[in-house]
């Protein structure tokens, strides 16, 4: 059982949903991004997604693309993800990496898995990789006891839901809407059906992302999902505030709002 599985099960036993927060390493610098991840933990995030910036982020919307492009321009490296994971784990929270497959392939899939495990990471979310198309990653993840976290969407067939539920460990990432990441004014009701269908297909834990922006959104999703995943709303705290102090203050405030939501205190 991974640290992610243990944390999700512990939180479920508390009668609530988990808050999972995403930030990309390297924005605005590697050091400042790591400090921001630590602040998320201090403010109430239960699991951290450490984002690995990539030049062709097909799933990401404007906010995350902006941060990733800035990080790449300033020379962020694939290896920078591992100190970030170490810092998150040292802060007391499980860490998973969110990355497209090409950076892992460039780094060396088995090498990436080994270095992530050595850093204390629990697994990897691969938005552009399906269980039946990544034999090298499956082998490396199994060899190093890392969670393989795959995505399902509103368009997923029953066959695809079953395949993904069977192959995933840690949790299944349910995309709440069709499209890219980004803040929304509401979270659609279709996500609740997708969670139910994914559980019926065999998934033990299903967490929902894309579009969660406010504490009210978090509370709505928390009513039916094991975890609420937030990215763009957190990244925006840093992109909208150029000083580190202001950015971290805004991040603390937003995480506190979302944490209250998953705890039913909004």
3-class secondary-structure state, position 96 = strand
Q: Peptide bond before 141: cis, by omega within 30 degrees of 0?
A: no
CB 104 within 8 A of CB 112: yes
Is 49 designated active site? yes
For residue 228, list its beta bridge partners. Answer: 19, 208
Distance CA 160, CA 27 (A): 35
3-class secondary-structure state, position 220 = helix
Task: Look at the chain and count its residues.
Answer: 266
Q: What angle do CA 198, 45, 92 make, to 5 degrees?
A: 110
- In sequence order, what are the residues at sequence separation of 6 or more whose Cβ sits closer than 8 angstroms to the Cβ of residue 179? 61, 210
CB 213 within 8 A of CB 184: yes
Catalytic residue (one of 38, 46, 60, 197): 60
Catalytic residue (one of 49, 115, 147, 183): 49
Q: Which residues are catalytic?
A: 49, 60
């Amino acid at each position: 059982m991974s640290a992610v599985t243990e944390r999700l099960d512990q939180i479920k036993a508390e009668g609530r949903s988990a808050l999972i927060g995403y930030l990309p390493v390297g924005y605005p610098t590697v050091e400042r991004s790591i400090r921001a991840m630590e602040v998320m933990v201090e403010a109430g995030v239960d699991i951290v997604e450490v984002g690995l910036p990539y030049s062709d982020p097909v799933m990401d919307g404007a906010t995350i693309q902006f941060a990733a492009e800035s990080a790449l321009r300033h020379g962020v490296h694939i290896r920078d993800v591992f100190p970030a994971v170490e810092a998150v784990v040292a802060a007391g929270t499980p860490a998973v990496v969110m990355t497209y497959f090409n950076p892992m392939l460039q780094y060396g899939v088995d090498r990436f898995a080994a270095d992530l495990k050595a850093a204390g990471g629990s697994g990897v979310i691969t938005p552009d990789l399906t269980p039946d198309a990544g034999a090298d990653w499956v082998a490396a993840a199994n060899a190093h006891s890392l969670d393989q976290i795959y995505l399902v969407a509103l368009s997923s067939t029953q066959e695809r839901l079953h395949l993904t539920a069977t192959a995933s460990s840690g949790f299944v990432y349910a995309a709440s809407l069709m499209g890219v990441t980004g803040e929304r004014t509401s979270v659609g009701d279709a996500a609740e059906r997708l969670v139910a269908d994914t559980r019926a297909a065999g998934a033990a834990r299903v967490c929902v992302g894309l579009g969660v922006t406010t504490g009210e959104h978090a509370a709505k999703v928390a009513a039916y999902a094991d975890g609420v995943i937030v990215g763009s709303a957190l990244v925006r705290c840093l992109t909208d505030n150029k000083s580190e102090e202001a950015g971290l203050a805004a991040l603390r405030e937003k995480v506190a709002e979302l944490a209250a939501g998953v705890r039913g205190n909004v």
